[in-house]
Amino acid sequence: MPFKCCVPNCNGNYKNGPKVATFSFPKNEEIKKKWLRAICRQNFCPTNSSKVCELHFHSYDIERETSHYNEANGKLLTAPLRHPRLIKNAVPSQLLYNPQYLTESEAPHRESPAKKRLKMENFLIEQAIASSIESRKTFDEKNGFSTLEELYVKLKDRIDIHKWIISHKDTTIYFFHVEDTSYPNVKCCARVSENFTVTLFYGSREVKYLKKLKFPLVVSNIIEIEDILDQALISLEEKYEDCSVKENLNICIDILNSLSTTLSEQKPVIDFLLQQIKLLDISKKNAFRYSWETTLFCGLLHSISPHAYKFLRNSGHLLLPSSTTIKRICSNFSTNPQLEQDESTFLHYISSKFKLLNAEDKTVTLMMDEIHIKPYMDYKGGNIVGRAFNSTECATSAHVFMINSMLSTYRDVVHILPVKTLQASTLHDFIAKIVIGLENIGFEVLAVVSDNNAINKKAMSFFSNPPKISNVYRNPKDSSRPLFYVIDSVHIIKNIRNNWINQKPHQYMQYPDFNEQKMRLASFQSLKDMHSTEKDNLLQYGYTLSLKSLYPTSIERQNVKLALQIFNTNVVIALRELGPKKHFEYFEDTAAYIELISQWWDIVNVKTLLKGKRHRNHFEEPITKNSDHIKFLKNFLNWLNRWKNCEGGGKLTKETHFALFQTTDALIKLATYCLDEKHWSFFLCGKIQTDRLEERFEYTDNKLEHNIIYQFVKFLNPKVSFVCRIPCTSFKVQSIWRYRNDFDRYLGLCGKYRR
């Protein structure tokens, strides 16, 4: 429905009125005020629906067609506009029903009678011709020229010296517009040659077209030159503003590219700056304007903390993709645990990931652990997920298998087995199947690592015939190679602390001396007494002790950090310093016990080459052929044998004692094999732990709901790895599988599926 005219007494577009084009009030406040004065309507405030029709404008105020210059054939093309539009700064002046003094009529005054008009016509024509001839003569005298010298003299007095600098040199006149910001710069230049041809330049670019003018252009009077100069400052700045920005961006890019070669150690920083500068020159309509590295980094940051990412993006300091874009990229997933139970898709993910790995990533250990999950069924991607692999019921736990490289930081989940109940024989079949599958892909599996769960030990015992728990088996893929079985040392250190707390009636551990043939008594009460004595002191000897470590709850007993608050050298020093002064019971025996377990833990927890040098601890250095770590571990085995044969209470449980002996013996054999047979220069015992798997899962409450923590990607640089934590309030079996594929999803969309 067309808009009606808001001018008083006008019936434009009304029921009985003419159908006319209408125009909205201008946004410019000054022009808008002129419109309001012109229509003379009291107490009127225009809205978006207020319009003025074409009846109130001169015909020359309205544009009804548009034109375009075709550079290919040199023709001017004209086409009617679908909707008429007003010229700039047009004001309604034809107010037909208003008083005469408010109306500027386009038509001439009332014509004289016909006879009088005929008599006057010839007189007016003659007068106009005479006036035109005189005006032409005056115009030529004032604005015409015949030589460059004459043109230069006339222009000197008429050109605005604040805008243009005029210079006459030989057979050419130059006009310079200098922009003086940080340094003088010729922004625009016009050149008039001896044949009066004008050439126009903007910066370092030659201008070919200026509105309807085509250059080079021959001029015949000064007015034409003045018009060209006036239009050049206005039109060219708008036309070439984007080009100037692009030139400046290209200059910055060239400078940063040169810096990346000279400052190679700062290359990551320079590359990031390059990406940000290149983003300034890309249209926001481009859906894939971010590089794949930036997209990955933003995905990781958004997953760690959406609020921090939103704050960083809204600050305007960095150009980052929106949260919607990141969620859209991660929205589709095609893999879940149920699908990979099939033979055709078994280990499909890790086989596709294998081609991205380096040679040092392929020597691995296989870690396994059981994760308790909330029973839950869901429908995802055409499949029902959440049920056990061998049952139609909901899975109550998931056996997670993860590989950890012995020579690099690479680690990844390779298979997830959702179960309700699982027999040891079935678990053994899956372990063997996964080991063989990994070997077929190209990995070298050295060891299997698990906690001290009975089903894990029984499943591993089936690798020998008859079944027997051992620390070395034959590799199911290649019987000539060993497959070591190691019980997780992190699990053991927690059990040693828990065994000590569980001693009844008093918390005493009765153990043999490490070097002498005598028995000692370690008292947990002495640790409690020391903490109670120092709890109000500003400076404390046993500052690592806390109430949680001394009086742990059932959940806190599974926290290894609390166990390590007891088994560390600081507690040993504190006992030997305060024991004689405060008379703690069996303080020396307690310190010796903690010191012995701490030394064992220092050896089996080495994960990096420089840990020992950083802590200045000999036991935290890697195992080498020349080190005495293996000798200490063998003496530790002898000590365990003597402790096992001791009579009386105050000892480790059979399960904990067996796990401690099994792991120590297995680490000795595995280290010897790697150093002698594989000719490694060092061996890191800390690589043989399942804590890297347990890091993926955290307890959120007593209902054992979990959060998944997943490593998204390892960048092109093999020395760099990123670990991302993704909260999942209601953990499901397929959630582990789902987030694992973000890496492939990102790289697939960014077109960079290579290392």
Mapped onto helix, strand or coil, the DSSP state of residue 95 is: coil
Whether residue 111 has pLDDT greater than 90:
no
- Looking at residue 458, what is its pLDDT? 92
Counting Cβ atoms within 10 Å, is residue 619 exposed (0-12), middle (13-18) or buried (19+)?
A: buried
Tokens 């926290």 found at: 559
Helix 306-314 to helix 292-304 angle (10° resolution) is 130
CA dihedral of residues 641, 645, 651, 657 (deg, nearest 10): 40
45-49, 475-479, 501-505, 724-728: least confidently modelled range: 724-728
- Looking at residue 306, what is its pLDDT? 85
Whether residue 755 has pLDDT greater than 80:
no
Q: What is the C-alpha separation between 745 and 328, in angstroms, rounded?
A: 11
According to DSSP, the residues that pair with 193 across neighbouring strands are 172
Residue, of 206 and 245, whose pLDDT is higher: 206
What mean pLDDT comes out for the span 411-421? 86
146-150, 281-285, 456-460, 735-739: least confidently modelled range: 735-739
CA dihedral of residues 455, 456, 458, 461 (deg, nearest 10): 170
Whether residue 741 has pLDDT greater than 50:
no
- Looking at residue 742, what is its pLDDT? 45
604-658: per-residue pLDDT in tens?
A: 999 989 988 998 999 999 999 888 999 999 999 999 999 998 888 889 999 999 9
Residue ranges in 174-240 assigned as alpha helix (H):
222-239
Average pLDDT, the chain: 80
| Largest separation between any pair of C-alpha atoms in the chain | 148
Q: What is the C-alpha separation between 398 and 203, in angstroms, rounded?
A: 69
**Cβ neighbours of residue 472 under 8 Å, at least 6 residues apart?**
482, 483, 484, 485, 666, 669
Q: What is the C-alpha separation between 233 and 261, in angstroms, rounded?
A: 41
Identify the band that residue 672 occupies on the pLDDT scale cut at 50, 70 and 90.
very high
84-108: per-residue pLDDT in tens?
A: 999 888 999 887 655 555 454 444 4
What mean pLDDT comes out for the span 50-67? 88
What mean pLDDT comes out for the span 486-490? 92
- Looking at residue 114, what is its pLDDT? 67
Whether residue 746 has pLDDT greater than 60:
no
Tokens 């001394």 found at: 550
Residue, of 739 and 456, whose pLDDT is higher: 456
Q: Identify the helix (H) or strand (E) that includes residue 474.
A: strand 472-474
- Looking at residue 238, what is its pLDDT? 59
646-667: per-residue pLDDT in tens?
A: 888 889 999 999 999 999 999 9
- Looking at residue 558, what is its pLDDT? 87
Please state, in angstroms and as integers, the Cα–Cα distance from residue 239 to each residue in 191, 234, 236, 247, 319, following that order: 20, 9, 5, 14, 26
Structure token digits, residue 303? 């997953």
Q: Identify the helix (H) or strand (E) that includes residue 682.
A: none
- Locate the domains of the chain by residue range: 22-102, 148-239, 282-329, 339-488+690-750, 490-687
Query: Running DSSP on this structure, what letter comes out for residue 221?
Result: B
Measured over the CA atoms of residue 46, residue 48, residue 49 and residue 55, the dihedral's sign is positive
Q: What is the C-alpha separation between 189 and 202, in angstroms, rounded?
A: 6
CA dihedral of residues 634, 640, 641, 645 (deg, nearest 10): 160
* pTM, two decimal places: 0.55
- Looking at residue 728, what is its pLDDT? 34
Highest mean pLDDT among 36-45, 182-191, 331-340, 691-700: 36-45
141-179: per-residue pLDDT in tens?
A: 777 888 888 888 777 777 776 778 888 887 888 888 887
According to DSSP, the residues that pair with 399 across neighbouring strands are 370, 417
Identify the band that residue 697 occupies on the pLDDT scale cut at 50, 70 and 90.
low
Q: Are 503 and 509 in contact (CB under 8 A)?
A: yes
Whether residue 466 has pLDDT greater than 70:
yes
Q: What is the C-alpha separation between 450 and 367, in angstroms, rounded?
A: 6
Residue, of 200 and 286, whose pLDDT is higher: 200
Q: What is the C-alpha separation between 402 and 366, in angstroms, rounded?
A: 6
- Looking at residue 221, what is its pLDDT? 84
Q: Are 419 and 397 in contact (CB under 8 A)?
A: yes
Q: What is the C-alpha separation between 741 and 746, in angstroms, rounded?
A: 9
What mean pLDDT comes out for the span 383-412? 83
- Looking at residue 683, what is its pLDDT? 94
**How many Cα atoms within 13 Å fall on the side-chain side of residue 205?**
12
Identify the band that residue 751 occupies on the pLDDT scale cut at 50, 70 and 90.
very low
**Cβ neighbours of residue 110 under 8 Å, at least 6 residues apart?**
none
Measured over the CA atoms of residue 682, residue 685, residue 688 and residue 692, the dihedral's sign is negative
Whether residue 10 has pLDDT greater than 60:
yes
Q: Cis (ω within 30 of 0) for the bond into 505?
A: yes
- Looking at residue 629, what is its pLDDT? 92
- Looking at residue 732, what is its pLDDT? 36
Q: What is the C-alpha separation between 297 and 713, in angstroms, rounded?
A: 10
Identify the band that residue 383 occupies on the pLDDT scale cut at 50, 70 and 90.
low
Burial per residue of 438-447, b for 16 or more beta-carbon CB atoms within 10 angstroms, e otherwise:
bbebebebbb
573-595: per-residue pLDDT in tens?
A: 999 999 999 889 999 999 999 99
Q: Are 171 and 186 in contact (CB under 8 A)?
A: no
What mean pLDDT comes out for the span 534-542? 88
Nearest to 173 by CA among 225, 231, 237, 234: 225
Length of the chain equals 755
**Cβ neighbours of residue 582 under 8 Å, at least 6 residues apart?**
529, 530, 533
Q: What is the C-alpha separation between 646 and 558, in angstroms, rounded?
A: 28
Q: Are 237 and 244 in contact (CB under 8 A)?
A: no
Identify the band that residue 745 occupies on the pLDDT scale cut at 50, 70 and 90.
very low
Counting Cβ atoms within 10 Å, is residue 610 exposed (0-12), middle (13-18) or buried (19+)?
A: exposed
Identify the band that residue 370 occupies on the pLDDT scale cut at 50, 70 and 90.
confident
- Looking at residue 729, what is its pLDDT? 32
